Structure 1
Amino acid sequence: MKNQLLKSMIAAGAGLLALGGIAANAGPLADRVAAGEPIRIGFANEIPFAYPAEDGSPKGFVNVFTIGVLKKMGYDKIEPVQTEWGGLIPGLNAGRFDIVTGGMNILASRCENIAFSEPMTKVGDAFIVAPGNPKKIGDYKSLADGGAVMVTGAGYSNIEAAKAAGVTEANIMQVPGPTEILAAVKAARADAGAGTYFTMKQLADSSGGSVEVTDPNAMPEDSFNWAGIGFRKDDQDFLDKFNAAMKEYLGSEEMMKAVAEYGYAEASLPGDKTTEWVCANR
């Protein structure tokens, strides 16, 4: 009887070990961390939010911020995973990475699919246009009124904003990312390239004067967004701990010093808006 009980206990223990191995490879983020696996951060090439250095290491203020919060939590085993912007949410939910750091705006449509941290920055949109802004493009309504062609990245929040202002599907060109946005405007295949002010300013600054950036303050208040860090919904336990650590880190002298080189300043802080509010209003 004792031998039979011992065998049953051994079998049960082996089963638990096997399940633990499965959880370490494919389970929630907390299980991966407990098993000693790296935290995989997914991002696209979105300067200055998140992008790879020449050696593949994560750069950009959202990456730096996220890594800073994780370090405060006691985690420094990080694995960067670069993908195209449109693959971030599908890749997160498919388990190809654990956190999305790419400077993703919190939107109601995205809140249905993933969980967001509390906002870490307030983001205004802007356009890159030909020098002198010949079509007088300042906001999405001016695009619609002038029948202008807008180019932006596949999956960008600018698509929803443009459609809401009356820009037709036929006048919205979608490309993989910033490099292609700049190329389309320079080649006059599009009248305006749309993205966040951070990204559009970087494109204009790097263009040698071939394009200029519009004033983000010309945009209506409801076009401003808040960006957060994306998690799978079944990682809410880890996200709660992340938010707690983030509350102490956001806006601290340590954090502001770390992100300053990417253009993030005090005006970039998110203010008092919560993720719950943003999910309901954007």
Structure 2
Amino acid sequence: MSHYKKRLALLLLLLIGFVLVSCGQPATPQTVEKVVTQVVEKVVTQVVEKEVTQVVEKEVTTIVEVQVEPTAGPFLERARTDGLRVGFVQEKPFGYVDDQGNCTGIDIEVTREAAKRLGINEIICVHLAWEGLIPGLLASRIDVIPVGMAIRPERCEVVQFTDPYQAQGIAALVLKENPKNIHGFQDFVDNPNLKLGASIGASELTIAREQFHIPEDRAIGYSEQVQVIDDIVAGRIDAGMYTAPFVNRYIQEQGPDSALERATPFDSPSYFNTGHGFRKDDPEFVQLWNNTLLEMKRDGTIAKIAGEFGYTDADLLGEDAKVENCCSGDNWQNRACLPK
């Protein structure tokens, strides 16, 4: 506040001196300095208080604008009237826009069916970057995250998830008929003649080398996924390790004439259990939605939809998969978030 003092002191000095003399007090330098300080502090305080008030009022207005709930009101009734806004990332087979411009994918279609059963006749697909899904949900830009998001304890702190209905494990792509009888990473430990391939930096390659101690000359890193596939077909390696949804998508797109298939069963050492994520402001609606998904598990609807996108029963979860198991403890990477 010293700049206010400098500007005001000179203007007030003569006036104060005049006042002191008029009051019969000697206008000594000490007296003048004391009075100047008191007057200036009072004036500066008033000026600063006014400016702070203006700043605070401005900030409060900004915060209110940010925090205004654009989807206020009973959630179910609003969704029935205005539609359900679904966040997705353009990634097959979870959620994507197809060649005809339609929003589809396993999670989109499961969401569409659940919404229909609750009287919500329209879903509105909102394309976001992966890192924007949770912020978009919390800011009410979208109403639900259905697409391939693993239920993890730290995410459960801000998102209300449903029970998971699919488990995205690691899958192996092998030659038709699986001639080397590959059903897990342990097969590469037991048979020193087997080789696998995976993308450089992928968790599948890290698991092979660090968890199962398969040497680098038999757990080979590739810069491009297509190179892995080419080497399987050529017989240079025996399997390619990917997430199960990638393998599902590849098999589906290649059709019945594909030279490769998914090795089943396959013992995946890690799983990502996924369901649907909502805000925490309407737990009754989330429970209603969760009950609808449970109904769809029981009547086979989820399995039917999943099959259309290349999923098998091994990728789906039953009624024993509970969200509370995924949100607490260290079991979130286990299938169905259950202890091994």
TM bin (shorter chain): 0.5 to 0.7
SS at match of 2:116: helix
- Tell me the equivalent position of 2:199: 151
2:263 is equivalent to residue 218 of structure 1: no
Inter-CA distance 58–231: structure 2 relative to 1 (3 Å threshold): same
- Tell me the equivalent position of 2:83: 38
1:211, distance to aligned residue in structure 2 (A):
8.4
Where does structure 2 lack aligned partners over 5 or more consecutive residues?
A: 1-63, 214-218, 232-238, 333-340
SS at match of 1:194: strand
- Tell me the equivalent position of 2:320: 272
Counterparts of 1:124-273 in structure 2, within 5 Å, are 124-128=169-173, 150-151=198-199, 165=211, 181=225, 183=226, 185=228, 192=240, 194-196=242-244, 198-204=245-251, 206=253, 212=260, 215=263, 217-220=265-268, 222-264=269-311, 266-267=313-314, 268-273=316-321
Inter-CA distance 150–95: structure 2 relative to 1 (3 Å threshold): farther
2: CA distance between counterparts of 1:85 and 1:216?
30
Deviations 1:116-137 (A, max 9, x none): 111222343214579999xx99
Task: From the two aligned structures, give the one with the greater strand fraction.
Answer: 1
2: CA distance between counterparts of 1:59 and 1:41?
11
The equivalent position to 1:91 in structure 2, one of 123, 132, 136, is 136
The equivalent position to 2:124 in structure 1, one of 56, 79, 91, is 79
Inter-CA distance 258–162: structure 2 relative to 1 (3 Å threshold): same
Does structure 1 conserve the Cα–Cα contact (< 8 Å) formed by 2:70 and 2:140?
no
1: CA distance between counterparts of 2:205 and 2:153?
14
Does structure 2 conserve the Cα–Cα contact (< 8 Å) formed by 1:23 and 1:31?
no
Letter in 2 for 1:116: F
Inter-CA distance 64–141: structure 2 relative to 1 (3 Å threshold): same
Where does structure 1 lack aligned partners over 5 or more consecutive residues?
A: 1-17
1:200, distance to aligned residue in structure 2 (A):
1.4
- Tell me the equivalent position of 1:107: 152
1:276, distance to aligned residue in structure 2 (A):
0.8
2: CA distance between counterparts of 1:161 and 1:30?
43
- Tell me the equivalent position of 1:118: 163
Indicate the RMSD between aligned Cα atoms, in angstroms.
Answer: 4.9
Inter-CA distance 235–251: structure 2 relative to 1 (3 Å threshold): same
Structure number, greater radius of gyration? 2
> RCO greater where, 1 or 2, for CA within 8 Å and sep 6 or more?
1
1:51, distance to aligned residue in structure 2 (A):
2.2
| Identical-pair percentage | 27
Deviations 1:55-107 (A, max 9, x none): 43322222111111111111112101233444433433343322112133323
Does structure 1 conserve the Cα–Cα contact (< 8 Å) formed by 2:160 and 2:277?
yes
Letter in 2 for 1:227: T
Q: TM-score, normalised by structure 2?
A: 0.54
1: CA distance between counterparts of 2:290 and 2:92?
24
2: CA distance between counterparts of 1:51 and 1:153?
25
Inter-CA distance 211–80: structure 2 relative to 1 (3 Å threshold): farther
Q: TM-score, normalised by structure 1?
A: 0.63
1:205, distance to aligned residue in structure 2 (A):
5.1
Moved more, 229-238 or 270-279: 229-238
Letter in 2 for 1:232: R
Does structure 1 conserve the Cα–Cα contact (< 8 Å) formed by 2:163 and 2:322?
yes
1: CA distance between counterparts of 2:131 and 2:108?
18
